[in-house]
């Protein structure tokens, strides 16, 4: 099949690479000429396991093409995915300007019946706006070319996106006719061959499904962090509580690990967008608002513990930060807890020595570029030398079983603040560490 994908960010690039891997001809479009040039040179703009090989092999096989010209892409294809960003506006709503701009461009250039598939995460009702934008552009041309607008939300986990696309839990498709469903079934057939994962519904329900899924997962995280905070107050151990409730099959263990808050490109934006959508439609979503409020406060949990231990004035203190990305196996720092923690510490006079396997560039050029008193080091142990404490923020695999003898030798004080509850408290205390976790009495 011949497919065009507008937007070569996280979703668009993974989608294009995976469809081309199955033998489709895919043209990826982006207005960023520098990004397109780099992709054509084999330089991948994001870190995602397995993506670089997939992109370069399919580009070399000429199944995957990158261009800045949307007309060129639409001339070659009759299936067009919209996969551009929907950044959060100041009021918490999803900003649809890029989605609707692409829709207008599609209406301007299509020459045959086209299946327009919205892959971007968008509020309920966006398909209607896309349809209006395409229709308006066609009317200006005096054209009666037909088209379908289809909702096909993505459910990719950063750090496992290629695997998730290749072996999906489900493929959700919202459309209003059987011909559109048929095209989507054919497109996704290679990914759903082992069992039926193809779920059809109306367009608005499909749009809602994405927001509902992410909000449910975010709710589990904030709920567990709320329980962790209560555990600290009453003297319980949240690690034991987690095991106790997770053994209930109705609850399970997924997304009930306490920590210093969720981040990334999806949960914060999607929860707030759903809150905004509800309010715009006359409903006050108290639970969803609380999910976001709890998460906002949770990102300060580690810095509060540091301040309690070392005092409000952190002048002359240095802290080793292990992990900058919002989760392991990605360089994404959007809404990462590390940003809040580092800014809280530096604002009180502290120096930070930070290490992350992949997110250095993002930190230096974007998220922490204006923050002073940060030193970026090349290894996790280098960050420790002379530091007054170690702070674990992101649970990268290389942090799971570190050399604690090396840690205690390098630190000025044997103090660890664990924002992901990764280590054995009893062992560390026997070694002489002060060990602070989330949801455990200090």
What are the catalytic residues?
A: 266
Alpha-carbon gap, residue 413 to 424, rounded angstroms: 19
**Whether 110 contacts 74, CB under 8 Å:** yes
If one counts every other C-beta atom within 10 angstroms of the C-beta of residue 163, the result is 14
First-to-last alpha carbon distance for the chain, in angstroms, is: 59
Query: Which parts of 189-332 fold into alpha helices (H)?
Result: 203-234, 238-246, 267-280, 286-298, 301-310
Strand order in the sheet with 415-418: 374-376, 351-355, 318-322, 389-392, 415-418, 434-436
Q: Pick from 4, 117, 108: which is nearest to 66 by CA? A: 4
Q: Pick from 51, 16, 19, 49: which is nearest to 30 by CA? A: 16
CA distance to 317, 344, 360, 386, 392, per residue, from 314 (Å): 5, 10, 24, 15, 18
CA distance to 171, 183, 226, 291, per residue, from 209 (Å): 11, 21, 25, 18
**Whether 82 contacts 99, CB under 8 Å:** yes
Residues in the chain: 442
Q: Pick from 403, 389, 387: which is nearest to 434 by CA? A: 389
Q: Are strands 114-118 and 79-82 parallel, antiparallel or unpaired?
A: parallel
Strand order in the sheet with 114-118: 64-67, 25-29, 2-6, 79-82, 114-118, 147-151, 171-174, 198-201
SS3 category, 79: strand
Cβ-in-10-Å burial (0-12, 13-18, 19+) of 164 comes to middle
Alpha-carbon gap, residue 231 to 81, rounded angstroms: 46
Strand ranges inside 138-202, DSSP E:
147-151, 171-174, 198-201
* CA-CA-CA-CA torsion sign (361, 365, 371, 373): positive
CA distance to 77, 104, 138, 182, 392, per residue, from 131 (Å): 19, 9, 11, 20, 47
């Amino acid at each position: 099949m011949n497919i065009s994908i507008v937007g070569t960010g996280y979703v668009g690039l993974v989608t294009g690479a995976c469809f081309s891997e199955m033998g489709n001809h895919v043209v990826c479009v982006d207005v960023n000429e520098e990004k397109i040039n780099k992709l054509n040179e084999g330089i991948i703009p994001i870190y995602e396991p397995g993506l670089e090989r997939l992109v370069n092999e399919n580009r070399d096989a000429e199944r995957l093409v990158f261009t800045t010209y949307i007309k060129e892409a639409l001339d070659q294809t009759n299936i067009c995915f919209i996969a551009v960003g929907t950044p959060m506006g100041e009021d918490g709503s999803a900003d649809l300007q890029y989605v609707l701009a692409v829709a207008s461009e599609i209406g301007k250039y299509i020459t045959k019946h086209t299946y327009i598939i919205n892959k971007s995460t968008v509020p309920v009702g966006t398909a209607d706006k896309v349809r209006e934008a395409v229709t308006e552009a066609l009317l200006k041309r005096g054209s009666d070319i037909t088209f379908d607008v289809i909702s096909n939300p993505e459910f990719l986990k950063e750090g496992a996106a290629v695997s998730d696309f290749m072996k999906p839990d489900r493929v959700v498709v919202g459309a209003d006719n059987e011909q559109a469903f048929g095209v989507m079934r054919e497109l996704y057939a290679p990914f759903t061959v082992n069992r039926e994962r193809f779920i059809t519904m109306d367009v608005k329900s499909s749009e809602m499904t994405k927001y509902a899924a992410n909000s449910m997962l975010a709710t589990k995280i904030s709920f567990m962090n709320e329980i962790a905070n209560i555990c600290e107050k009453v003297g319980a151990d949240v690690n034991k509580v987690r095991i106790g409730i997770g053994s209930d099959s109705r609850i399970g263990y997924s997304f009930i690990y306490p920590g210093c808050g969720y981040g990334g490109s999806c949960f914060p934006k999607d929860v707030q967008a759903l809150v905004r959508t509800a309010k715009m439609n006359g409903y006050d979503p108290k639970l969803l608002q609380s999910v976001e409020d709890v998460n906002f406060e949770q990102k300060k949990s580690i810095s509060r513990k540091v301040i309690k231990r070392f005092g409000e004035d952190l002048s002359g203190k240095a802290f080793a930060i292990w992990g900058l990305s919002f989760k392991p196996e990605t360089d994404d720092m959007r809404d990462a807890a590390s940003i809040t923690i580092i800014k809280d510490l530096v604002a009180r006079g502290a120096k930070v020595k930070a290490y992350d396997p992949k997110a250095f560039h993002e930190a230096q050029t974007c998220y922490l570029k204006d923050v002073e008193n940060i030193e970026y080091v090349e290894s996790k142990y280098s960050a420790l030398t002379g530091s007054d404490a170690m702070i674990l923020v992101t649970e990268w695999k290389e942090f799971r079983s570190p050399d604690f003898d090396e840690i205690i030798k390098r630190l000025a004080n044997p103090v660890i603040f664990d924002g992901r509850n990764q280590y054995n408290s009893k062992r560390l205390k026997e070694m002489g560490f002060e060990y602070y976790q989330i949801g455990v009495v200090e």
